[in-house]
Every structure is written in structure tokens, then in C-alpha cells.
Structure 1
């Protein structure tokens, strides 16, 4: 030891009074980091599954039936399934169209009945014209037969 070195002063312990919380510097809060829990297969929680529905799934089928009528009373049907044409230009009777329309709905039947009734009226008119012409032809034929 060197004689010139001053002797170390004994360190006295001092009691430190606690600082009130209001005066303590704020510590930045850090998010709590949790270690992932490792669980056994028996205790691992599984997401809740929905119970399977007992209702049958409804399958939608797209069918397009087009019924076309003329003023003369001729009817045709076209049927398309999805994008595939199944039937095209199938001739059907006015009576079948009327029956089918009644089965479907009263509003449909009313609209189709109007078209059919218009066609009936036109056919009656044409029939009366033809009957009158036939009567003239019969009369002319009778005159020719009487002369013999």
C-alpha cells in the first residue's frame, strides 16, 4: 500500500425514504407477453361444430317453357333446360294449353283464355264465310243438276 494514498472513508448507509407514487416517474407499460400454453390432446379445446342439418338441400332446376299461340289458334311449345334446348316448335292443342293454364294459376288461365276466345271468334267468322260460300256452290250445283 502506498502511504500517499488517502485512506478510504468508511461508507455510511443511508436510509432512503420511499417516494410517493404521484412523484415517481411513469414507467412505460409494455404488453404482457404470454407463452403459448401447451395442452394435451384430451384437454385441447376444439372449435364448436354446428350440428348437421337434417333438412334436405333444395336443388334448383331451371326449366323455361315458352308457349306460343297464333291468332289462328295454332299453339307451339319450346322447352329449355338450363341452356340446352329440349323441345322446339312442338305443336300442341289449344285445349291442352287451356287445361295446363287452369292448373298453373287463374291469372295465367285468364290471359290465355282471352287469346283462345279471340281465335274462336275468328274461326267462327271464317266458318260462317265458308258456309255461305258452300251454300252458294251447292245452289249453283243444284241448278246445274236440275237442267239435265
Structure 2
């Protein structure tokens, strides 16, 4: 038995189409216009340059630290760089600045300042009582001479 040849194995109408054709038997042309087919690239939307200025942000971190003794200090960071560290500031300046920033901030800082004021007034009364005792002890010593 002999093997069938390639011509005998193909059915009528089954013609091989070269790989370079577009499957319609015409190589590289558009069937409607007979013009060469160009690969269409997706069109990019053209951007118009914005005339708006780009907004740059500046990161500043101000940390205000206070103690019940009434000592306040400020630290200032610009990004990750420490600009000011441990700058002593008066409590009155902290209270005034907090009122300028926001009422909620002012309320919380006023609570801390009020607590510090009460502590100082208490300490003042204790010291005044001690001074009175010392004066009395001096008066008693003067009367003995």
C-alpha cells in the first residue's frame, strides 16, 4: 500500500493559505480598498499642560510640652530634621497661641494651665505658712534677748 500524497489528502477547496496573508487570499491588502493594511495603534489622548501651580506641602511638627510645675517647652521638626529643641516658652504664650489655633485645643490647654496654677497657689500657701512660722520663731528669739 502506498501512502496518499498531499494532493490526494486535501479536499477540493482546501487550499493552503500562506502565513503572510490575511486569510482572504490577498496578501497584505484590505479587501474593500485594495490598499495595504497598516497596523492601527491606539490613539493617546493628548494632554494639555495644566496652568495651575502644583501645590507643595510643607511638613512642620510643633510639639509643645508642659508640666504641672508650669514649665513649657517647644520642639519643632521640619520633615525629619529637628529645627528647635527644648525651647522654653511662657505659659501665657501657650494659652494665647492655643486660643488662636482652635477652641478645643484652647480648652484642653487651659485645663492643664489651671491645674498648674492651682498647684502653684497651693504651694504658695504652704510656703507663706512656713514663712509665718519662721517669722514667729525669729520674733520669739528677739523677745528672749
The two structures share one fold, judged by TM-score above 0.5: yes
Q: How does 1:45-124 map to 2 (within 5 A)?
A: 48-53=46-51, 55-124=52-121
* Cα separation, partners in 2 of 1:107 and 1:47, compared to 1, 3 Å: closer
Structure 2: stretches of 5+ with no match in the other structure: 1-12, 14-21, 25-29, 31-35
Structure 1: stretches of 5+ with no match in the other structure: 1-24, 37-45
Q: How does 1:32-51 map to 2 (within 5 A)?
A: 32=30, 34-35=37-38, 48-51=46-49
Distance 1:89 1:64 in 2: 14
Aligned residue number for residue 6 of structure 2: none
Aligned residue number for residue 6 of structure 1: none
Distance 1:138 1:52 in 2: 80
Cα RMSD over matched residues? 2.7
Instruction: Determine which structure has more spread, i.e. the larger CA radius of gyration.
Output: 1
The superposition leaves residues 3-51 of structure 1 with CA deviations (integer Å, 9 ceiling, x where unpaired) of xxxxxxxxxxxxxxxxxxxxxx9xxx85845247xxxxxxxxx964425
TM-score under structure 2 normalisation?
0.68
